[in-house]
Amino acid sequence: MQGSGKSKISEKLADLTDSVQGSQAWNSIFRPGSIFRKGYSDSPRNRSYVIMNSVLYHLHPVKVKRHAVKVSYTLCLGGLSFFLFIMLTVTGIFLMFFYRPTAAQAWDDIYALQTSVTFGLLVRNIHRWAAHLMVLSVFLHMARVFYHGAYKAPREFNWVIGVVLLTLTLLLSFTGYLLPWDQLALWAVTVGTNMMGYTPVFGSQVRFVLLGGAEIGSNTLLRWYVLHVLFFPFITVIFMAIHFWRVRKDGGISGPL
- Chain residues that interact with ligand HEM, rule: CB under 6 A: 74, 76-79, 81-82, 138, 141-142, 145, 148, 150-151, 155, 158-159, 162-163, 165-166, 169, 240, 243, 247, 253-254
> To the nearest whole angstrom, how small is the minimum distance from the Cβ of residue 79 to ligand HEM?
5
> To the nearest whole angstrom, how small is the minimum distance from the Cβ of residue 76 to ligand HEM?
6
Q: Among candidates 102, 80, 99, which has minimal Cα distance to 91?
A: 99
> To the nearest whole angstrom, how small is the minimum distance from the Cβ of residue 80 to ligand HEM?
8
Residue closer to ligand HEM, measured from CB, 193 or 254: 254
Residue closer to ligand HEM, measured from CB, 27 or 89: 89
Q: Are 80 and 155 in contact (CB under 8 A)?
A: no
Q: Report d(CA 251, CA 64) in Å as an integer.
A: 10
**Nearest residue relative to ligand HEM (C-beta):** 162
> To the nearest whole angstrom, how small is the minimum distance from the Cβ of residue 128 to ligand HEM?
18
Q: Tell me how far CA of residue 162 lies from CA of 35, 127, 251, 257, in angstroms.
A: 37, 23, 17, 21
> To the nearest whole angstrom, how small is the minimum distance from the Cβ of residue 234 to ligand HEM?
14
Neighbours of 237 (CB within 10 A): 12
54-76 burial, b at 16+ Cβ within 10 Å, e below that, comes to: eeeeeeebeeeeeebeeeebbeb
Q: Which amino acid is at 122?
A: L
Residue closer to ligand HEM, measured from CB, 31 or 148: 148
Residue closer to ligand HEM, measured from CB, 128 or 148: 148
41 Ramachandran zone, left/alpha/beta (phi>0; psi -120 to 50): beta
> To the nearest whole angstrom, how small is the minimum distance from the Cβ of residue 42 to ligand HEM?
29
Q: What are phi and psi of 67, to 5 degrees?
A: -70, -25
Q: What are phi and psi of 18, to 5 degrees?
A: -60, -45
Q: Report d(CA 188, CA 88) in Å as an integer.
A: 22
Q: What are phi and psi of 238, to 5 degrees?
A: -60, -45
